[in-house]
Amino acid sequence: MTERVVLAYSGGLDTSVGIGWIAEATGAEVIAVAVDVGQGGEDLEVIRRRALDCGAVEAYVADARDEFAAEYCMPALRANGLYLDKYPLVSALSRPVIVKHLVRAARQFGATTVAHGCTGKGNDQVRFEVGITSLAPDLKCLAPVRDLALTRDKAIEFAERKKLPIATTKHNPFSIDQNVWGRAVETGFLEDIWNEPTKDVYTYTDDPTFPPVADEVVIRFEQGVPVALDGVPVTPLQAIQEMNRRAGAQGVGRIDIVEDRLVGIKSREVYEAPGAMALIAAHQELENVTVEREQARFKRQVEQRWTELVYDGQWFSPLKKSLDTFIDDTQRYVSGEIRMVLHGGRATVTGRRSETSLYDFNLATYDSGDTFDQSAARGFIEIYGLSSKLAAARDVKFGNAEDLGQQGGIGGTDAEGTGA
């Protein structure tokens, strides 16, 4: 029986050539799998037809946009997933949903190997292969660019020799990966980290230097998930798409970062994620209103570890699943509305309201109606500072007291402030 290989197929030059390249190098039949995660571009049927014309024995296509938004982007939103506090995991989030469809196709068509178009120096090879073996430990993995020496020059030559129905002359100076959650751009002149991104780098966002009139939006969340914009019900996919449009028009969500790749190198990346960044900012503020202090402090530690796991290709790992359970529990009361102004590259929260809020006006106010018992503060401070006070007294006793020195000038403090 002839071996079968499932290939993650984009419709571009490298993966189109990969169909015939794999067949010639291994003797296997190739099944092309294309997954729509909101990257735009060509219709899935066009891509399916091209895969067959390039020699695939089967072509599996899937519209996974709603699945991606609901089952991958929303967990990232609830986790406030920002790698290095900046990058909203645009590419990392799409890999596990693509992997799931690759494995599904492998089972459906009886394939023993799954192939992808990644190089040997990026994160995605890890994400694909760890994801595949986490779902199907029996499957083998193959990367033609890495394992079968499929360079771009060889790909162009192969496509022209075989007369494949794919353009070979147009060469984009950038490497681009995009989906509904955002857009990632690298290589070309961006590899010199002193070079400023030029206007042609951006597609999802308009120039924030010359913004249109400010745009105010009210986002309603239920248990950490956006369910309405300005009172109009939305699905997760619709929420992301509409916020991409509105925040993108204001230049929100441009990110230029040198990040730590999993493989050990630093890489300069430019991202656009207008909807993701605006939604995360709104969600974080609603959490400030609804999540208890100690729970919120610990969640920030969990968020960082969760984000690192997803970035490192561990979406299906036991630890990530356990952290999901904690995050799900924290979202029980994260419901309410956030009012936000989008303008000039900024998404600024201007109002918040929630029936599950922990904010008590009567406790917070300094005006009449204050219900906070200030007389309790003295005893609280005495007990809270007791261990430090005892340690300081010991330092004084043994000659290790803090050296206050001699400072010139006059200092002062504002005794009226809240100390916040």
The full DSSP string for 156-212 is HHHHHHHT-SS--S---SSEEEEETTEEEEESGGGGSTTSPPPGGG-SSS--TTS--
Could you say which of 36, 48, 124, 267 is catalytic?
124
Q: Please say if 124 is a catalytic residue.
A: yes
Could you say which of 4, 10, 14, 94 is catalytic?
14
Q: Please say if 95 is a catalytic residue.
A: yes
Q: Kindly give the pairing relationship between strand 225-229 and strand 232-233.
A: antiparallel
Among residues 278, 250, 389, the alpha carbon closest in space to that of 338 is found at 278
Q: Please say if 152 is a catalytic residue.
A: no
* Residue found by looking up tokens 């419709």 in the block: 11
> How would you label 10-20 residue by residue, b for 16+ Cβ within 10 Å and e otherwise?
bbbbbbbbbbb
Q: Please say if 14 is a catalytic residue.
A: yes
Number of residues written out for the chain: 420
Task: Enumerate the H helices of 252-341 as residue ranges.
Answer: 274-290, 293-311, 318-330
Interhelix angle 44-53/13-26, rounded to 10 degrees, is 30
3-state secondary structure at position 68: helix
Task: Name the amino acid, one letter, at 107.
Answer: R
Could you say which of 4, 78, 95, 246 is catalytic?
95
3-state secondary structure at position 16: helix
Q: Which residues contact 102 (CB under 8 A, 6 or more apart)?
A: 6, 8, 33, 114, 128, 132
Could you say which of 134, 146, 175, 260 is catalytic?
175
Interhelix angle 13-26/152-162, rounded to 10 degrees, is 80
* Residue found by looking up tokens 């010359």 in the block: 210
Q: How far apart are the C-alpha atoms of 366 and 97, rounded to whole Å?
A: 51
Tell me which residues are annotated as active site.
14, 95, 124, 175
